[in-house]
Amino acid sequence: MNLLIDIGNSSIKYQKGTGDKVKSCLYKDFLNNLDQIISRDIVCVFICSVGPRYIQDQIIEFLSNQGISYKIIKAQSSYLGLTIDSDYQKSIGTDRWVLMLACWQRRKSSFIVIDFGTTITLDFVDGDGKHAGGMIFPGEFLLRDAIFRNTQINKIENLEYKFYSGLNLSKSTKDALNYLPSQMILPSINYATNAIRESHPEVEIYLSGKVDPSLLVAFGKQYNYVPNLIFDGLSLIADSGLN
């Protein structure tokens, strides 16, 4: 059995075997329970990481001590029909590459994949499997945190995620902050996807990561939501034997 690990900017997700449920936890909880999570029936561990290096290093040290094989996933300029610019390969987050790989194997035609995490990333791949470029936006937490850090507004707890399709003039700071993510994120994503669709009307759009239900409704049926799409890509890599 393989163990697939996705180390994000704020948490870790993992899956034992292809059909197992994807689990999520904080860094400290994962590291404190390595001997339980990485059991003796694990043959190989595949690690995709964009998080702090020390997390990956501690996992590798544990695996080495236990004699368990592992592979650190790195973006390839050409793999299973997906190609990216060799210069971009050196800087793109590995998670974005894995997501594109998963979509390409599903689609084998042009697509846009948008991943919601600490940041929100958007990548476009054309019908030939070539990465045509991407975008990056601050996520919900970063948007609000930037305001709290750089103004005299005190941090407000228990903020909600609200969507309003038209102009919303809030009558309180809390309400304005509730609407902030959708009012900044949704128009930006819609602008990008509509612009791509003008020249590629056949393009399919995938959403992944943690997306609030109200925002999913706002995006509409033109978007395909696959919460743990990255594990489709990691499973593909595990099965194909990435060197």
In order of start, what are the domains of the chain with their CATH numbers? 2-72 (3.30.420.40), 78-140+168-229 (3.30.420.40)
The pLDDT tens digits for 179-220 are 888 788 888 888 999 999 999 999 999 999 988 777 777 777
- Tens-digit pLDDT profile for residues 51-77: 999 999 999 999 999 999 999 999 999
What digits encode the pLDDT tens for the residues 93-125?
A: 999 999 999 999 998 999 999 999 889 999 999
C-beta of residue 94 within 8 angstroms of C-beta of residue 75:
yes
Q: How far apart are CA 170 and CA 43, in angstroms?
A: 54
Residue range 73-91: average pLDDT?
Answer: 89
Write out the E strands in the chain.
Answer: 2-7, 12-16, 23-25, 44-49, 69-72, 78-79, 82-83, 111-116, 119-125, 131-138, 204-209, 223-225
Cβ-contact 47, 231 below 8 angstroms: no
Angle between helices 94-107 and 229-240 (to 10 degrees): 80
Q: Give the pLDDT confidence score for residue 107 in this predicted structure.
A: 86
Phi, psi of 188 (to 5 degrees): -65, -45
DSSP assignment of 92-136, as one string?
A: S-HHHHHHHHHHHHHHSS-EEEEEESSEEEEEEE-TTSBEEEEEE
pTM above 0.75, yes or no: yes
The bridge status of strand 131-138 relative to strand 119-125 is antiparallel
pLDDT tier for residue 164 given thresholds of 50, 70 and 90 = low
